[in-house]
Structure 1
């Protein structure tokens, strides 16, 4: 189930990363071509042409290596290489090479805080404009210098924008990994908690019924047959619980849980008293939570105490649903407030419904579990179609 939840995010992450990486490669190559093509087509000495090609290739490769994945390793080394390859050829090549200075200015914007990076990036663009007009000084220096500075600035903003997009995608990838980890952990916790809380009573009941059938078979076969029929009903109910756990959906009937709890306690030889009032209109989440608490509470009475009697009541009063389970087995083996590892799970369930769960042991050896859940804060669910 959790794999289906996370798969769309993983596919979206892979597509976004590939798109951003491709866009950065195209942008970096485009800026490099804007700088190197005028050199190749111009009247510069032939020896400068392979130098320009090598510098352009180095700028593209360095930008993709250091900035394309969102995280910049060794930023000052990256800036040093970009400054050397972007500004070094400006004096011999002049204005055509000015856009290459955008690699350094864009790198500054990517590795430094905006308050410090913006002034230095603007200065780098101005330097690119000034240095690029030195070979042609003094003719048309203002127009050429301004155009070179603007060319470097546009290249810097393009590379900075795509680098920022890569950083956002990388952050998104980390969020998806964290979401996947949390989803897996929550799914494992849910499965473990539901397996303990929902199957504990059913398996205890099946065990007790099986022991009772074994005792009745020699002398009372007809009664044993009737008990065996109830045992089959309990086993089918346990199988249905397993299916609801594996499907991630569970909705319990509080009336059925009260009857099942009374049957289990009676089969264990415990005298039972049940009181129910006003539970028919409880929202499904509240009824399911109370039914789960009742299951675990009765399971603890059967497995962890020597109770001779047990009384439980379910009621609603002043917008609050109440469940109380009291028995006299707290002084027996395993009894007491700490019996039943599922109480921690039940506390989490009740807290999720803005309720409270308390347990106490009386001086006369009685153990009391009390749950209160405010009904008004829970949205009432529509009945599900069967």
Structure 2
């Protein structure tokens, strides 16, 4: 709701999301460029009075060197948010910002703002604010010291405070923009990774059964062709239908639309098992009005379960049922192939991991168990109340 509301506000203000996206790089450049500009401005506020009021080139060069060190250190260590040697930088700012006050007086008070602003950037407000206030008060005392002027002291403290707040505000803005950029990059990375995971999962879940069925039909056609060409022709026609269904599944994955028909999947699963020479028993009850998400999840689980039976077991019979009871949708697949070459294979590969991810989203459960008589059972339960909400 918040995102939609923001979109409405943007449209109401006459700014489209595309235009805002185009303007954002300019705003980002302005924020990052404002900080060194402000640092340079504060340095000039301290240097220009010295340049005009002092005739000694030694004083001018000393002031220029101190301000260059103050501005450079602030940009390097606070503009880029580095953590190391911050105490050394603050100590240097304190020395360069306050010792020249004894020589230059109130003219040097803007330079004291570097130290006060550095304190605000380096420490949390509970510690930074009192320390910065003390630094500004010290700048005021240093400004008033040579002549004892209260006016000069107040002006020095206020100038140092304004400089500190300017450096702190622009530095914090740049830091927040940088953190926001990092968050956006991380969100994009996660979105890409999630989409890759979704594509891989859907490719496995949706095409596994179709490709297994095509393989079985192809082998059957190959066996029937020499002795029973008419039946082989019929099986080949079914193979073409299955291949078209697999092509539709590929398009479904590419489009991101993954709603499946549980009824069609039941019929397809029974056809595949029959083609593999497995006796099939199907039971369906009370599943005509299932929520689409539940029906699609059960259909996907049915595909994966039947694919495992065909690929990884030597089952001679398989029974699956889909039903609803006590507000829960159930899918059960039982076969007698758990003692096959791959031990039933129900837990092999990424299929069941993918299924558990899908089912967990709906607050459902998936369990598998092998019986002592060589049977294997897969059971999926999804509460309908949670899925519908």
Q: Report the TM-score when normalising by structure 1.
A: 0.89
Moved more, 159-168 or 259-268: 159-168
| Matching of residues 295-374 of structure 1 within 5 Å | 295-336=303-344, 338-341=346-349, 342-374=351-383
Matched, 1:376 2:385: yes
Alignment match of 1:290 (pick from 284, 298, 308): 298
Q: Name the CA distance, whole Å, in 2 between partners of 1:216 and 1:113.
A: 80
Q: What's the offset of the Cα at 1:357?
A: 0.8
- Tell me the equivalent position of 1:383: none
Q: Which residue of 2 aligns with 1:124?
A: 135
**1:81 alignment partner, one of 87, 92, 95:** 92
Question: Do 1:337 and 1:361's aligned partners in 2 also have CA atoms closer than 8 Å?
Answer: no
Counterpart check, 1:65 vs 2:76: yes
Q: CA separation in 1, counterparts of 2:194 and 2:20? A: 18
Asked whether the 8 Å contact 2:312–2:345 carries over to 1, the reply is: no
C-alpha spacing 1:113/1:150, structure 2 compared with 1 (3 Å)? same
Q: Which runs of 5+ in 1 are unaligned?
A: 1-7, 381-386
**Moved beyond 6 Å, runs of 4+:** 8-13
Q: Indicate whether 1:30 and 2:41 are aligned.
A: yes
Is the Cα contact below 8 Å between 2:54 and 2:60 reproduced in 1? no
Tell me which moved more, 33-42 or 343-352: 33-42
State which drifts further: 194-203 or 109-118.
109-118
Cα drift, residue 125 of structure 1: 0.9
User: In the alignment, is the contact (CA less than 8 A) between 1:31 and 1:155 conserved in 2?
Assistant: yes
- CA 1:87–1:269 in structure 2 vs 1: closer, same or farther (change >3 Å)? same
Return the offset for 1:219.
2.2
How far off its partner does 1:370 sit? 0.9
**Alignment partner of 1:195 is 2:198:** no
Q: Distance in 2 between matches of 1:171 and 1:239?
A: 44
Q: 1:266 aligns with which of 274, 286, 298?
A: 274
Q: Which residue of structure 1 aligns with residue 111 of structure 2? A: 100
Tell me the CA shift for residue 72 of structure 1.
3.8
Contact in 1 for aligned 2:46/2:107 (Cα 8 Å): yes
The answer to whether the 8 Å contact 2:308/2:344 transfers is no
Gaps of 5+ in 2: 1-18
The CA distance in 2 between the partners of 1:194 and 1:291, in whole Å, is: 12
Q: 1:303 to 1:11 in 2, by over 3 A?
A: farther
The structure carrying a bigger helix percent of its residues is 2
DSSP 3-state at the match of 1:281:
coil
Q: 1:44-193, aligned counterparts within 5 Å?
A: 44-135=55-146, 137-138=147-148, 141-193=149-201
Greater RCO (CA < 8 Å, at least 6 residues apart)? 1
- CA offsets per residue over residues 87-120 of structure 1, 9 Å max, x none? 2321221112111100001101111233332222
Separation in 1, partners of 2:260, 2:346:
26
Preserved contact between residue 254 and residue 287 of structure 1 (Cα < 8 Å): yes
How has the CA–CA distance of structure 1 residues 175 and 299 changed in structure 2, closer, same or farther, with 3 Å as cutoff? same
What is the SS of the residue equivalent to 1:376?
Answer: helix
Distance of 2:286 and 2:43 partners within structure 1:
77
Instruction: Kindly tell me the number of residue pairs found equivalent between the two proteins.
Output: 371
